[in-house]
Structure 1
Amino acid sequence: MTTFQKVKLGDVCSQITDGKHGDCINNDNSGYYFISSKDVFNGSIHYENARQIIEADFLDTHRRTKLEIGDILITNSGTIGRMALIKNNTRVEKTTFQKSVAIIKPKQNVNNTYLFYKLLSLYKQLVNLGGGSAQHNLLLGDLRNFIIQIPDLPTQTRIASVLSAYDDLIENNEKRIKALEEMAQLLYAEWFVKFKFPFRLRLEQAGHEKVKMVDSHTEYGMIPEGWEVVKIDNLLKIVKRKIKLQTSEYKISGQFPIIDQGRDFIAGLRIIGN
């Protein structure tokens, strides 16, 4: 029977600290990244909108934290509790971070992947530790004293292996979905922008080669005969929201997705009754 031992997070990690206190000089093409809490979500670092800084500032900050493969990052101010497990990436050795992000370096007798998933499962407790709201601060001292339960290393490794396999499957499926979405966008552009739609025998619809093009008398120029240019508000009905939610109310689990135009569409989830 596997036994779990209660330990302080700081006792199973060689380092728990935060990033640079202060700012750095920007250099958009340096290749040296200065990560903030907004760049850490969904288990990884997202570099799309990450700042780039001069080499001297990077080296000064990197010397203290030294981000490496297997480290865990957790946002500790702003929206707290979002995490990333650092995997093999060519940009890792040129990445450092601001004080809104903390780094957790597990000791050799702890499986990094297991600890990452363990902390993910304790998200609500970590948020409460930071003041009960996703917009408070998670203090380093509280993080080091945070109690977790861990089994022996072989059990950690087995658990991590199973969870990683599921995550890899999800990631591969997401890549396939993205590829299909890109194909759909290209097809849409081919049919409805370039108007090179195919012949459909079953519906007795002619292909673009046999369709007469007429002037739309709009900025869109020539369009297929029988088509028209209309305003989108003539086709849609806007339903105004009845409840205004604060970002602090967003959850990582729940029954109802929250759509936010300022984020990646699905900003979070909402629990029924709340």
Structure 2
Amino acid sequence: GLLGLYDSIVKSRFIEMFGDPILNPKGWIQEELSKYSLKISDGEHTSVPRVESGIPFLNAKHILSDGEIDFSSASFISEENHNRIFKRCNPEINDILLTTTGTIGNTAIVKTEKEFSMDRGITLIKIDKSRINQFFLAQLLKMPSSQEWMRRNTTTATIGHLFLNKVRSFPTIIPSKSDQDDFSYFLDQITKSKLAIQKSIDELETLKKKLMQEYFG
């Protein structure tokens, strides 16, 4: 559908501009992700008591494959537990979240100012924004060869897990900041187009239902 088409356009544009991010045919500087990150840490390792209402507590299933974060089905933890977890793992706006347990490699950019906590199934990546653009990096992590690298580096016991040392050592190409920003601008434009098309489809669907109702009752 529309999402698949959008996804393939974005991937083609990435390859056209930067080449395959793991094979690096264009010869960009390629270093471990930790070199461009201010912090890479995962969420809480122990089990945390849930409460009726409080601070949202996310696990890997809340990071969706389309890059959205689903807060609607999150459970809650107390402020006291949240503050303790947040000292070590503090997701903030424009940080990158990567699922590293079970479903490996779903990637989202934090778009909210509201505080939340996470369990160890999600890894937090705080980037050095003077050197890397979060939209560029999020797309790089979603590319097929990057996903394949993660699969190859996943430890499988009862459930697959991509450990922090592997995330830190992820080989990251770093094109010029202006090239990254150009890609980010392209992404922004195509997202706006996608939303406009989706809105038209939804409106047509509503109209169709209304007409069906009128004609067939």
For the aligned pair, the TM-score class normalised by the smaller chain equals 0.7 to 0.9
Larger RCO (CA under 8 A, 6+ residues apart):
2
TM-score, scaled to structure 2: 0.76
Q: How many residues align?
A: 188
Identity value in percent: 22
> What is the CA deviation profile of residues 2-36 of structure 1, one whole-angstrom value per residue up to 9, with x for unaligned ones?
86111111111111110011122222332x11000
Task: Tell me the distance in 1 between the aligned counterparts of 2:208 and 2:103.
Answer: 33
Say whether 1:39 aligns with 2:69.
no
Q: Are 1:106 and 2:127 counterparts?
A: yes
CA distance in structure 2 between the aligned counterparts of 1:101 and 1:184, rounded to whole angstroms: 41
In structure 2, what is the Cα distance between the partners aligned to 1:138 and 1:185?
Answer: 46
What pairs with 1:130-145 in structure 2 (closer than 5 Å)? 130-131=154-155, 136-145=160-169
Determine which of 49, 52, 68 is the counterpart of 1:25. 49
In proportion to residue count, which structure has more helix? Answer: 2
In structure 2, relative to structure 1, the CA distance for the partners of 1:162 and 1:34 (3 Å cut) is same
CA distance in 2, matches of 1:53, 1:174: 35
The residue identity in structure 1 corresponding to 2:120 is K
Matched letter for residue 183 of structure 2? I
Aligned residues: CA RMSD? 2.8
| Counterpart residue number, 1:228 | none
Q: Deviation of residue 112 (structure 1)?
A: 1.1
- C-alpha contact (below 8 Å) 2:92/2:115 kept by paired residues: no
Structure 2 match to 1:249 = none
1:93-172 superposed matches below 5 A: 93-108=114-129, 109-121=131-143, 122-131=146-155, 136-172=160-196
CA gap 1:169/1:107 in 2 versus in 1, 3 angstroms: same
Query: Who is 1:48 aligned against?
Result: 72
Query: 1:82 is paired with a residue of what secondary structure?
Result: strand
Other structure's SS at 1:70 match: coil
Bigger CA radius of gyration: 1
Q: 2:30 aligned with 1:6, yes or no? A: yes
Cα distance in 1 for residues equivalent to 2:204 and 2:53: 31
Distance 1:185 1:94 in 2: 41
Question: Does the Cα contact within 8 Å between 2:41 and 2:88 map onto a contact in 1?
Answer: no
Partner secondary structure for residue 187 of structure 2: helix
3-state DSSP of counterpart to 1:66: coil
CA–CA distance in 1 between the matches of 2:176 and 2:43? Answer: 31
Structure 2 distance, partners of 1:131, 1:57, is 29
Question: What is the Cα deviation at residue 162 of structure 1?
Answer: 1.0
CA change 1:175–1:78 in 2 (3 A) is farther
Distance 1:132 1:175 in 2: 42
**Change in 2 beyond 3 A, CA 1:151/1:60:** same
How far apart are 1:44 and its partner, in Å?
Answer: 2.0
- TM-score (ref. length: structure 1): 0.61
Structure 1 residues 158, 29: closer, same or farther in 2, change over 3 A? same
Map 1:50-69 to 2 at 5 A.
Answer: 50-69=74-93
Deviant stretches of 4+, over 2 Å: 27-30, 167-181, 183-188
